[in-house]
Amino acid sequence: MRLIVDSGSSKADWIAINTSGEMLFSTQTLGLNPEVLTKEDILERIHSNETLVNAIPNITHLHFYGAGCGTDRMKNFLATVFQELFTTAKVEVFEDTFAAVYATTPKNEKAIVCILGTGSNCSYFDGTQLQQKVQSLGYIAMDDASGNRFGRHLIRAYYFNAMPEEMAQEFKKQFDLDADVIKHNLYKEPNPNAYLATFAPFLIQFKNTEFCQKIIRKELETFIENYIMQFENCKEIPVHFVGSIAYHLQDEIGILLTQYGIQTGKILKRPIDGLIQYHTNEN
């Protein structure tokens, strides 16, 4: 039994397949970002899912694609944690960009592949190898056009009285905006980046307003200029996107990329279906 995992900071999708690629089960846990979680946090999140716990003895391969796995240190840390739990499995840990590449880019084709979800990143795939011009420094310093970045904008706008009054009233209805609650989630709880991203659906809900369009355009332009345009051939190959933010802002992304002379490729909400096909072909 192969277990394929696509994990962001907010949530992780787990799908088990047999040697024929048939799905045995699908389940979900909270995200397993090793940059912001301890070993104990990771194990607790897995053990809270009865389906996964019951399947542990039957897992022969674990293919994990996750946010926060962009460095060897984090990949090795997570692989060690998984190997202690899935003792009978061959464990592989990849950064989440590989999941996006395998889901969007045909074999041997070149493309730039971006992730816009809770966090964000961008890589160039030359048909065989993945290359990055920008190493992520995490959600505080980077993550342009991500869910957590949009959430930060909304909270700041609310507290600086820059949000339109009617929108501010609705924002207050949907979220607990008490300063102590916000600070507790940002500085005392795990996954502050995922917490910030919980505000992003509000931006999507009101994305057609002038206020939200201004935020969206500014962030997407920053992402295009800081990430995509690092690659000299960005106007010669398709640029694919994966992630919930990309999916819900695909019209805005397409318009802006056209203005920059860049070809919009595939835009997927999640890459897990493509990963099933990829790993079935390995059998």
Q: What is the CATH number of the domain that holds 63?
A: 3.30.420.40
pLDDT, tens digit, 9 for 90 and up, residues 49-82: 999 999 999 999 999 999 889 889 999 999 999 9
Task: Please state whether beta strands 11-17 and 23-30 pair in parallel, antiparallel, or not at all (unpaired).
Answer: antiparallel
DSSP-assigned beta bridge partners for residue 93? 64
Is 164 within the bounds of a domain? no
| C-alpha to C-alpha distance for 256 and 250, rounded to whole angstroms | 10
Share of the chain above pLDDT 70, in %: 99
DSSP-assigned beta bridge partners for residue 12? 7, 29
Lowest-pLDDT choice from 128-132, 152-156, 214-218, 244-248? 128-132
Is 91 within the bounds of a domain? yes
- What is the helix (H) or strand (E) element at residue 157, kind and residue range? helix 147-159
pLDDT score, position 199 = 98
How many other C-beta atoms lie within 10 A of the C-beta of residue 26?
Answer: 14
Task: Please state whether beta strands 239-242 and 11-17 pair in parallel, antiparallel, or not at all (unpaired).
Answer: unpaired
Number of domains in the chain: 1
pLDDT, tens digit, 9 for 90 and up, residues 209-242: 999 999 999 999 999 999 999 999 999 999 999 9
**One-letter-per-residue 3-state SS of 59-121:** CCEEEEEECCCCCHHHHHHHHHHHHHHCCCCEEEEEEHHHHHHHHHCCCCCCEEEEEECCCEE
Model confidence, pTM: 0.79
| C-alpha to C-alpha distance for 43 and 40, rounded to whole angstroms | 5
Q: Which of 106, 78, 114 lies closest to 277 in space, CA to CA? A: 106
Yes or no: say if 247 and 272 are a contact pair by the CB < 8 Å rule.
no
The more confidently predicted of residues 185 and 100 is: 185
| C-alpha to C-alpha distance for 78 and 37, rounded to whole angstroms | 10
pLDDT score, position 283 = 58
Label residue 275 by pLDDT band (50, 70, 90): confident
Share of the chain above pLDDT 90, in %: 77
Is 45 within the bounds of a domain? yes
Is 74 within the bounds of a domain? yes
Q: Which of 155, 269, 263, 260 lies closest to 217 in space, CA to CA? A: 260
Is 154 within the bounds of a domain? no
| C-alpha to C-alpha distance for 241 and 104, rounded to whole angstroms | 8
Is 94 within the bounds of a domain? yes
Range of the domain at 85: 2-99+272-280
pLDDT score, position 144 = 96
Is 276 within the bounds of a domain? yes
pLDDT score, position 129 = 87
Is 62 within the bounds of a domain? yes
Q: Over 90: is that where the pLDDT of 106 sits?
A: no
Q: Over 80: is that where the pLDDT of 273 sits?
A: no
pLDDT, tens digit, 9 for 90 and up, residues 37-47: 999 999 999 99
Q: 195 CB contacts (<8 Å, ≥6 apart)? A: 151, 185, 186, 189
**Assign residue 89 a region: left if phi > 0, alpha if psi is -120 to 50, beta otherwise?**
beta
Label residue 107 by pLDDT band (50, 70, 90): confident
pLDDT score, position 103 = 87
| C-alpha to C-alpha distance for 171 and 168, rounded to whole angstroms | 5
Lowest-pLDDT choice from 93-107, 113-127, 199-213, 226-240? 93-107
